Structure 1
Amino acid sequence: MKLEILAALNAEREARRAAVLVTEIATGAQRLVREADIAGDPLADLLAERLRMGKSGMAETPRGDVFLTVQAPPVRILATGAVHISQALAPMAQLLGHDIVIVDPRTAFATPERFPDVPLYAEWPDDVLPKLGVDRYTAFVALTHDPKIDDPALIQALKSKCFYIGALGSRKTHAKRVERLLAAGFTEEQIGRIRAPIGLPIGAISPAEIALSIMGEITAALRTRPASTASTAA
């Protein structure tokens, strides 16, 4: 690999931007296709599909066989609420290779003892989320049941390009949430990005089952949306 290509690939990694390295098998020629440039590439559909699936490997094209090296940032889950559901969600996310961050200003809940080996911020979401950066490889989940904590975080998420937004609560609770977000200046279409009640409809009852339903819904959003709106990590 040429040094300039390696440097460019590292730069994309540092910036949490995806890219695909295309290597022509017949000639050994290589080119780096950044995510922002995929739509204009001759192999656009193939590159977008591989990026969405996070899958490197050989591929046949009209121009000959190529090897596609897919590089995408690790998926990051930002959760407000150091609650029982978060305790179950964290190891599930880590098992799947995702990063997870817990944000909760309630210091009685946000403790390292309850969340070992998980980045934990005992701060208000509207203070910490802008510093963390909510990008297109981020899934956001609101789990506190407390509008004072969840609403500011949802506002940050709705202003971002994160690929998934989910919020705990009944339909009645969410209807009140929608009213508050409309009053905050969001449109119904923007608010419609929020999955609420959160999680796949599997009849989940326990915190672990709810965490499973959330992780399933995040995975579905990650793997089934077009690469232009949601990408994935290997």
Structure 2
Amino acid sequence: MQEINAIPEIALCWHRSGQGAVLATVAETWGSAPRPAGSQMAVSGVGEMAGSVSGGCVEGAVVAEALAALADGAPRLLSFGVADEDAFAVGLACGGRIRVLLEPVAALSEGLLEEIVAARALRRPIAYVVDTESWARRLAGPEDREIAARLRADRSGCDGARVIALFNPPLRMAVVGAVHIAQALVPMARLAGFDPVVIDPRPAFATQARFPGETIVEDWPDEALAALGLDARAAVVTLTHDPKLDDPAIRVALESDVFYLGCLGSTRTHAKRLERLRAAGLGEAQLCRIHAPVGLDIGARTPAEIATSVMAQVVQRLRLG
């Protein structure tokens, strides 16, 4: 898991080591703030930090205040804006404004943080709700209708005096086909915050030399996807251009809640693909979920350009629906 996606885990580790830890959470934003509500940063008792709340504009001030919070054990809600003289003489150069919730792990309770970390390990969506007037804290899940709506929209933020921080399961991308486009797409996906998995039963393609440090599953795509467990935080991209590999993967993806399914191939190739899938019993509502030819139409030609168009379409689908 990338550092920026593992802030609760890092904070818990620092706390358990005895050096102390503070969680900083973007509670609310206005204007062109560089990091959205729910973004987090952890600060250790020795001033080490992980994650980000502003992309570098106010991190130094947050670290200083976090160390003060560790010393007195009290949580606090900070405000930063352009030329904000009350915010430690720092501001957001981009012109936005943010509020940042600072909480020593000891104050929010190790038990609550352990529950958050456990839920994330199980890919179970959960929300942390704190009342900044009483400092009462609780966890909530999709069974809470308000929280369920926020989880679907991935929308952390404030509701009056309450700060609601969401912990949705990490985004995943299953790339079927360890081809040249995949070699460009996988690092892009990781940079965009996805946990990518490369699936290909062909040993000549699915190698660590071609995908250094990445998770590779050398199995038939339909079996690999079923074992992976697809959900609404997952995207699937098929790139083999071989119906024997792509079609079974597509059927598994269409039977799941994946938010994106994109398939390589020309318009003619996709038309033949649709004929095969209809013959296999898939309905039109399912088939309409397929993005093909895969990627936004930006005139891409090279593998890297095609990967860029695919990544852009995945983000577009994730954020704009």
Normalising by the residue count of structure 1, what TM-score does the alignment of the two structures yield?
A: 0.85
1:44 deviates by 6.4
Structure 1 residue ranges without an equivalent (≥5): 226-234
Write the distance in 2 (CA, Å) between the matches of 1:32 and 1:220. Answer: 30
Q: Deviations over 1:55-101 (max 9, x none)?
A: x55x2x3xx32222221221110011110000000111111221111
Aligned match of 2:268: 172
Query: Highest Rg: 1 or 2?
Result: 2
Q: Does the CA-based 8 Å contact 1:52-1:223 persist in structure 2?
A: no
Aligned match of 1:148: 244
Aligned match of 1:27: 134
Write the distance in 2 (CA, Å) between the matches of 1:135 and 1:48. Answer: 13
Structure 2 residue ranges without an equivalent (≥5): 1-107
- Between Structure 1 and Structure 2, the one with more strand by share is 2
Q: Deviations over 1:99-129 (max 9, x none)?
A: 1111111111111101101111121112222
Q: Which segment is superposed worse, 4-13 or 108-117?
A: 4-13
Write the distance in 2 (CA, Å) between the matches of 1:169 and 1:69. Answer: 40
Q: Does the CA-based 8 Å contact 1:22-1:69 persist in structure 2?
A: yes
Q: Does the CA-based 8 Å contact 2:154-2:168 persist in structure 1?
A: no
Write the distance in 2 (CA, Å) between the matches of 1:132 and 1:105. Answer: 15
Q: Deviations over 1:164-193 (max 9, x none)?
A: 000001111111111111111110111110
Write the distance in 1 (CA, Å) between the matches of 2:205 and 2:115. Answer: 42
Q: CA RMSD in A?
A: 1.9
State the secondary structure of the residue aligned to 1:181.
Answer: helix
What are the within-5 Å matches in structure 2 for residues 2-151 of structure 1? 2=109, 5-34=112-141, 36-38=142-144, 40-41=145-146, 47-48=150-151, 52=154, 56=156, 59=158, 61=159, 64-151=160-247
Q: Which segment is superposed worse, 65-74 or 155-164?
A: 65-74
Write the distance in 2 (CA, Å) between the matches of 1:124 and 1:161. Answer: 20
Write the distance in 1 (CA, Å) between the matches of 2:276 and 2:264. Answer: 16
Write the distance in 1 (CA, Å) between the matches of 2:294 and 2:168. Answer: 26
User: In the alignment, residue 214 of structure 1 is paired with which amino acid?
Assistant: V
Write the distance in 2 (CA, Å) between the matches of 1:112 and 1:104. Answer: 12
Pick from 300, 310, 314 the counterpart of residue 204 of structure 1.
Answer: 300
Q: Deviations over 1:33-62 (max 9, x none)?
A: 21x224x23x766x347x525xx55x2x3x
Normalising by the residue count of structure 2, what TM-score does the alignment of the two structures yield?
A: 0.63
